[in-house]
């Protein structure tokens, strides 16, 4: 039997698989420690323009070293692969425990909630906002349990680490049943308060064994709040719809219910944050394109070349591809984004559901359907993400069923709510107007 090794790690079975990576069980041959090895293909990451996103996620995980956050050990690389070495979590998902017991006792729910707040508050102290905290009937879940039953927060793929001075986040993202109302207002939101809302939903799930908002239609998602608020008020724990009046971390810390049986966590010894290994992994471009000629997999968006763009445009006029104004929307309903395609899909899903539509995603396509704005008919819309150039993705939007005017109204409102996702050409690229007669002499 041939044992495969990467550095000091022996690689075993596959224990998980995502869109862009496989997770393998591995063992450190020097210490005997079991680890989870996330394996990414270099060329795939570069092809899908995800280098900066992966670098940001790794940097954030190195920054938030906390007992209730999955630990990142190191990052390795070969000519064709990137290996992210993570703490191996053996206790399964918190969701499994909820399902097994239908719901948790108040004592156990409080214990997990205390651990969740400990981890999230530490992230916030480092200006890291998770933005996708979730459990219960959501895959993949990002609340795990270790062998001792302690909570571990994972998956920082949608997290934000804004620079000093930036107080509001703009990107609409997250999981609909857990996303804070202000994230859908598209006026900017506080990342810490958005995470606190998600923590409130998770507390409800722990106590009740179900989601407080179980509608697929986000237009009615925030209507059945009375039961949600009633349970939290029974616990002397208050949550508010308005972000400005929402409970803060320091208030949670002082809450009588929260402090019952609470034991402060011992922090991991601080280490200097060194990103040299991350930059070295991605800056080395040797043999990155070995597999470029392989047949396209089904995991990434289709690539449109110049001929495809011309064929999809109005004759040879490409302006409509990059213009979401009212004139172009009459004939062309598409827009361009420089965001990673998975973030584009996540944002579109949240926005569509906030508008009252059901969604279904598969293979970089999205189907949106529901009642029209006047509630008199139904419309169905198909969206597909294409790669048109490095760091540029075209979202083609087409009416599958319904009234044309209602569809155009939907498209306008949909784009207005995706302001941070849609790319807008800089003014400098506009063609200058030429005054051909300026330097001519009068006859």
Compute CA distances 346 → 150, 163, 210, 340, whole Å: 29, 23, 23, 10
- CA 316, CA 95: separation in Å to the nearest integer? 53
Burial of 372 (0-12, 13-18, 19+ CB in 10 A): middle
User: Any idea which residue has 């270790």 for tokens?
Assistant: 146
Read off the DSSP letter of residue 270: P
Phi-psi group of 235: left, alpha or beta (phi > 0 → left; psi -120 to 50 → alpha; rest → beta) = alpha
- CA 156, CA 43: separation in Å to the nearest integer? 22
- CA 153, CA 436: separation in Å to the nearest integer? 64
- Tokens read off for 387: 């790669």
Instruction: Please indicate whether residue 277 is annotated as part of the active site.
Output: no
- CA neighbor of 9 nearest in space, from 85, 90, 89, 87: 85
Cis amide bond preceding 257, omega within 30: no
Are the C-beta atoms of 217 and 193 separated by less than 8 Å?
no
- CA 434, CA 405: separation in Å to the nearest integer? 37
Catalytic residue among 132, 155, 190, 195: 132
- CA 441, CA 443: separation in Å to the nearest integer? 6
- Tokens read off for 193: 């308060």
- Tokens read off for 219: 């237009």
Helices 404-416, 341-354: inter-axial angle, 10-degree rounding: 120
Are the C-beta atoms of 217 and 368 separated by less than 8 Å?
no
Read off the DSSP letter of residue 185: G
- CA 336, CA 388: separation in Å to the nearest integer? 9
- CA 295, CA 387: separation in Å to the nearest integer? 16
Compute CA distances 400 → 263, 367, 379, 396, whole Å: 56, 9, 7, 12
Three-state SS for 122?
helix
Q: Is 47 annotated as a binding residue?
A: yes
- CA 110, CA 237: separation in Å to the nearest integer? 11
- Taken in order 223, 224, 228, 229, the sign of the CA dihedral is positive
Q: In 194-274, where do the E strands start and end?
A: none
**Numbered residues of the known binding site:** 47
**Numbered residues of the known binding site for ATP:** 47
Active site residues: 132
């Amino acid at each position: 039997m041939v044992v495969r090794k990467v550095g000091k790690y022996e690689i075993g079975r596959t224990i998980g698989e995502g869109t862009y990576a496989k997770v393998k069980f591995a063992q450190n041959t020097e210490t005997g420690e079991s680890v989870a090895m996330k394996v990414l293909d270099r060329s795939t990451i570069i092809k899908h323009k995800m280098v900066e996103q992966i670098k940001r996620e790794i940097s954030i995980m190195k920054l938030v070293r906390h007992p209730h956050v999955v630990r990142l050990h190191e990052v390795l690389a070969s000519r064709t692969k990137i290996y992210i070495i993570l703490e191996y979590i053996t206790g399964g998902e918190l969701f499994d425990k909820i399902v097994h017991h239908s719901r948790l006792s108040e004592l156990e729910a409080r214990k997990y909630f205390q651990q969740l707040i400990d981890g999230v508050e530490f992230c916030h102290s480092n200006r890291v906002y998770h933005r996708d905290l979730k459990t219960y009937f959501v895959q993949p879940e990002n609340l795990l349990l270790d062998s001792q039953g302690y909570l571990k927060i994972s998956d920082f793929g949608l997290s934000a680490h804004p620079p000093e001075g930036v107080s509001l986040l703009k990107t609409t993202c997250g999981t609909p049943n857990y996303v804070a109302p202000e994230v859908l207002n598209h006026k900017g939101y506080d990342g810490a308060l958005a995470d606190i809302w998600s923590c409130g939903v998770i507390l409800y799930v722990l106590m009740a064994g179900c989601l407080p908002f179980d509608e697929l239609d986000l237009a009615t998602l925030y209507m059945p709040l009375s039961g949600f608020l009633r349970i939290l008020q029974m616990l002397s724990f208050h949550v508010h719809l308005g972000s400005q009046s929402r409970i803060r971390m320091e208030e949670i810390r002082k809450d009588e219910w929260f402090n019952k049986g609470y034991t402060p966590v011992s922090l991991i010894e601080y280490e200097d944050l060194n990103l040299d290994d991350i930059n070295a992994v991605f800056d080395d471009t040797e043999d990155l394109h070995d597999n470029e000629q392989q047949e396209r997999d089904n995991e990434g968006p289709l690539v449109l070349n110049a001929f495809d763009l011309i064929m999809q445009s109005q004759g040879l006029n490409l302006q409509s591809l990059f213009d979401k104004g009212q004139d172009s929307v009459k004939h062309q309903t598409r827009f361009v984004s420089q965001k990673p395609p998975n973030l584009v899909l996540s944002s579109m899903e949240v926005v569509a559901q906030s508008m009252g539509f059901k969604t279904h995603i598969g293979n970089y396509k999205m189907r949106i359907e529901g009642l029209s704005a006047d509630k008199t008919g139904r419309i169905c819309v198909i969206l597909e993400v294409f790669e048109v150039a490095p760091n540029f993705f075209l979202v083609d939007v087409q009416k599958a069923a319904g009234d044309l005017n209602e569809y155009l109204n939907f498209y306008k409102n949909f784009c207005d709510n995706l302001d941070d996702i849609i790319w807008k050409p800089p003014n400098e690229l506009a063609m200058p107007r030429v005054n051909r007669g300026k330097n001519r002499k009068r006859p």
